[in-house]
Amino acid sequence: MTEQVVPSAAAAVNRSRKSLKTGGAAASALKNALPPIVVFILFVGGWELIVRLLGIAPYILPKPSDIVTAAADNWSNLMVSVGTTVTEAVIGFMASVVLGILLAILLAMNKLVEKSMYPYAIILQTIPIVAVAPIIVIWFGAGLNAIVIISFLISFFPILSNTLIGLNSTEQNMKNLFYLYNATKLQTIMRLRIPAALPYIVAGLKISCSMSVIGAIVGEYIAGIGGGKGGLGYAITIASTRLQTAYLFACGLSAAVLGIVFFLLINQLSKWLLSSWHESEMRN
């Protein structure tokens, strides 16, 4: 009888501990989320109140309620624009991830190649995208291809730069150990330097994911195609020419939400990759 009571008591203690941990995590999440929510409510409420009291015209500064109404009235068009921009940004971002990491590995494996090619990557980054965008349109035509390339060019360099820094920051003692075991350059890259560079790679992804959205919208300004499948850049252009300021705000806020969603997804990837071993994501 006693043997049955002890395990059941231990199980009860474990359940109580799990419930306390769950409750503590929920309380901690609520505590962290409460200040931003309060600030948001105060900001939106103050904006609504000030615009109403001052009687500012909606085409100059719309109220938050006007923005919500404009988004609801144009919901189907807004979702089409968001979907188009998401497609362009994701393709450009994925291309920058693949090519940026592969080029960084190539540069890290050969110092001569790095010294020869990396300066041109810097030059490519320093050229204003609006200066080369018309050339891209001439070469690849207006539409999806040109927009994806512009998004790629904007989001490419942070991944390349951060990955290369991470690969070159591997601890020298570990590289010496691999050398003693006669590891090849490829083995050292795949089994040591890339895992060690993961925090840097993730940092580059966090920067580039939001920049890919910016690149897609900039590309839509220059190379976008209108009609029923235009992206947020095209929708912003049309709204500004028609003085639809409330809808213009709705498009801008949608673009901001896209950037935030992209960042949160990469942040979850960072926690999945690094939470078990790197201090930046480990929980106390």
Is residue 121 a contact partner of residue 249, using CB atoms and an 8 Å limit? no
What is the arithmetic mean of pLDDT over 257-275?
Answer: 92
Q: Give the pLDDT score at 257.
A: 94
Mean pLDDT, the chain, rounded, equals: 87
Q: Quick check: 12 pLDDT over 50?
A: yes
**What integer is the mean pLDDT of 250-256?**
94
Radius of gyration of the chain from its Cα atoms, rounded to whole angstroms: 25
CATH code assigned to 64-274: 1.10.3720.10
pLDDT in tens, 179-220: 899 998 889 999 999 999 999 999 999 999 999 999 999 888
Share of residues in the chain with pLDDT > 70 (%): 88
What's the predicted TM-score (pTM) here?
Answer: 0.85
Provide the Cα torsion 122, 127, 128, 130; round to 10°.
-120
Instruction: Give the tens place of pLDDT for each residue, 90-145.
Output: 999 999 999 999 999 999 988 888 888 888 888 888 888 888 888 898 898 888 89
Position 2 scores a pLDDT of 47
Task: Indicate if the pLDDT at residue 18 is higher than 70.
Answer: no
- Count, in order, helices (H) and strands (E) of the chain: 11, 0
Q: Which residue has the higher pLDDT, 203 or 284?
A: 203
Q: What is the mean pLDDT of residues 54-58?
A: 91
**Total Cβ atoms within 10 A of residue 257:** 12
Domain range summary for the chain, segments of one domain joined by + = 1-55, 64-274
Q: What is the mean pLDDT of residues 12-30?
A: 61
What mean pLDDT do residues 64-92 have? 94
Average the pLDDT over 247-274 and give the result.
93
Q: What is the pLDDT of residues 34-55, one digit of tens each?
A: 888 999 999 999 999 999 999 9
Contact in structure between 133 and 194 (CB atoms under 8 Å): no
Q: Is the pLDDT of residue 4 over 80?
A: no
Q: Which residue has the tokens 């083995």?
A: 187
pLDDT score at 221: 85
Which tokens in the block code for residue 174? 């570990």
Inter-axis angle of helices 194-223 and 232-241, nearest 10: 40
Mean pLDDT of the 11-19 span: 56
Closest CA to 197 of 107, 258, 123, 82: 107
